[in-house]
Amino acid sequence: MKTRLCQLLVVSAAILSATASFAAQVLFTPRASVTVEYNDNIDLDRKNKQDDVITTVSPGGTLEVLGQVSGLRLAYDPGYSFYADNDEFDSWRHNLLGTAWHEFTRQTRLDLTNYFLYSKDPFDNRDVEDDRGNIIVEGDDRRRQRDTFYRNQATARLSHQFGPENSTFAQFTHGLTKYDDPSEEDSQEFSPSAGVTYWFTTWTGMELEGGYTRGIYDENTTSDFNNYLARLRLNHRLTPRFGLFGEYRQIYRDFDDSDIGTGDDQDYMVYAPSAGFFYQFDPTLTASLGAGYFYQEIQNDEDEQGPFVNADINKLWDFQRWNVRTRASSGIDSEDFSSDTRGFERYAQGEVIGVYNLTRELFADCSLRYRYSDFINSEDDEVDHRYTAGAGLGYRVTRWMTLRVAYQFNRLDAENSTDDYEQHRVYATITLQPDQPYRVGR
């Protein structure tokens, strides 16, 4: 792990040096935090709950190099956790997120993203967002064990705008997950994809996208696979903001060896038409809601079929004293690279996050999240319902110091499974961070 982390830092430093020579400014934001947490179920166990008090010390910082046509942002937040009763879980955490961009022209842009995580805590493996609240790296909410693991995900995306609403992209993603526990399955993914959005007229347009994923596993419990996905969507506006859409999605999954592990990895084809409506808040933000029906044709097994909801929204309402972000999505997907691979699923999830400034110094925040996962091909027809709720109260002591106390509730209701659990967490955090970054050099 140390070797891989050093390699990431060296590569980041090399990119930083190359970019700095063309940069208009270099900014650095240091930070440090100490969190004391009471956790009533550190093992996420159904019956044999074990509580503990955990203290985490985390120094960190963000380095930005901003130029006229290119830039780089590197955020590194290491931390060390001390367990009062279970010192065998004392451990380091390394969290590194690097992003870089370059505009070849006003219409053509390259974006690079690399995310690295090393930890023992399963809750550290959560979603990673960009500045607009879009999830750029999906977390793993199925992990339960407190064993050391690390993951790295790198993405390169080239996008080109060739009209007010017309664009195309090409993207490549590589993901890697490794566990110290030999009973857990290491995995890799290689995922190239490309797509185009084109409006024939002001009122009628289309989206066309295709992708390929190669999944590779180190153990003999899951077969390696090739996955092919194609999506075509037709949009028609009824007003400048509101319109209707029709979409067709097709997936082909080809396993290398259907007899590996339990022998349930059978090749399949999915046909999934859907239709609904969309609303365009602004040129870069569109929400959609529709319904569809999927048919999964499985080789040497009984076919599956059923309805699904096709939805997507990520909207921030920002006002003077408060803001609310609403994020929701639903459809069909595949759970392939988590610590508990379940395969083809029908899912729906929603999240609401709100912050209210009671005074200039005092603020309150709350969040609610729900995810429904129906694992279509599981042996026991397993269905998961995940609930997360949280609330906090913070106080800005000075321009560089903030105190926050919070509570979080996590629950998994698992149908036809014994994976259920409940967890309550209460914690207090003191954070030291300047309200403005420091300018380095010139």
Q: How far apart are CA 167 and CA 197, in angstroms?
A: 5
pLDDT of residue 422: 93
CATH class name, domain 2-440: mainly beta
For residue 255, CA distances in Å to 186, 212, 252 come to: 17, 13, 10
Q: Residue 200 and residue 83: Cα distance in Å, rounded?
A: 60
Per the CB < 8 A criterion, the answer to whether 403 and 395 are in contact is yes
Query: Are 75 and 62 a contacting pair, CB within 8 Å?
Result: yes
Q: Which one-letter amino acid corresponds to residue 394?
A: G
Q: Tell me the pLDDT tens digit for each residue of 97-121.
A: 999 999 999 999 999 999 999 998 8
In 124-134, which positions are buried (b, 16+ CB within 10 angstroms) versus exposed (e)? bbeebeeeeee
Tokens of 226: 């090739």
Three-class SS of residue 76?
Answer: strand
* Alpha-carbon dihedral 27, 28, 29, 34, rounded to 10 degrees: 170
Measured in whole angstroms, the distance separating CA 363 from the mean position of its chain's CA atoms is: 26
Instruction: Give the tens place of pLDDT for each residue, 144-203.
Output: 778 899 999 999 999 999 988 999 999 999 999 998 888 888 899 999 999 999 999 999
Give the other-Cβ count within 10 Å of 121's Cβ.
18
User: If you search the block for the tokens 């934001």, which residue do you land on?
Assistant: 29
DSSP secondary structure letters along 152-187: EEEEEEEEEE-SSS-EEEEEEEEEEEEESSTTSPPE
Q: At residue 20, what are phi and psi to the nearest 5 degrees?
A: -65, -30
Question: Residue 258: which of 212, 301, 304, 303 has the closest Cα?
Answer: 301
- Residue pair 168/196 in contact by the 8 Å Cβ criterion: yes
**pLDDT tens-place values along the chain, 442 residues long:** 555 555 555 445 545 554 544 547 999 999 999 999 999 999 888 888 999 999 999 999 999 999 999 999 999 999 999 999 999 999 999 999 999 999 999 999 999 999 999 998 887 877 777 777 677 777 777 777 788 999 999 999 999 999 889 999 999 999 999 988 888 888 999 999 999 999 999 999 999 999 999 999 887 667 899 999 999 999 999 999 999 999 999 999 999 887 654 446 789 999 999 999 999 988 778 899 999 999 999 998 899 999 999 999 999 998 989 999 999 999 999 888 877 777 899 999 999 999 999 999 999 999 999 999 999 988 788 899 999 999 999 999 999 999 999 999 999 998 877 778 999 999 999 999 999 999 987 5
| CA separation for the pair 147, 380 (Å, rounded) | 27
